[in-house]
Structure 1
Amino acid sequence: MIIDRLLLRGQKEGRKDDNEETIRRRLEVYREKTQPVLDYYRQQDRLSSVDGNRELQEVTKTLKAVVT
């Protein structure tokens, strides 16, 4: 579960703000504020996703293709 993963990250990195209450609040704000924006642009066929877990040059190439 994402909460468990973030709690573990907080322990490893010493982040005091990565507690369960804060994480749950962040997820709630995401669902209320961010997700509707993504849904809107997806419905308008104006949303692009870029996999940032690749080599920097590949991500850069994809980003340039998306914005031009």
Structure 2
Amino acid sequence: MPQLIFLILLVAAAIYGYRSFKREAARVSQKVRQAEQEARTGASGTLVRDPKTGVYRPADKD
């Protein structure tokens, strides 16, 4: 019985790790695609509008 519990915990950890990896890979891929598009168009970043002042500023890069 302890082996079964260990196997279930191991499978759950593997599933969690796989989902985390997929999420991180998608985030990095999106960031790379955005950087490629900015390089292709010659843009220096994405502008976002400040709702208080109405002024456009470069978006914060995380």
TM-score, length-scaled by structure 2: 0.35
Which structure's residues are more often helix, by fraction? 1
Which structure's residues are more often strand, by fraction? 2
Which has the larger Rg? Answer: 2
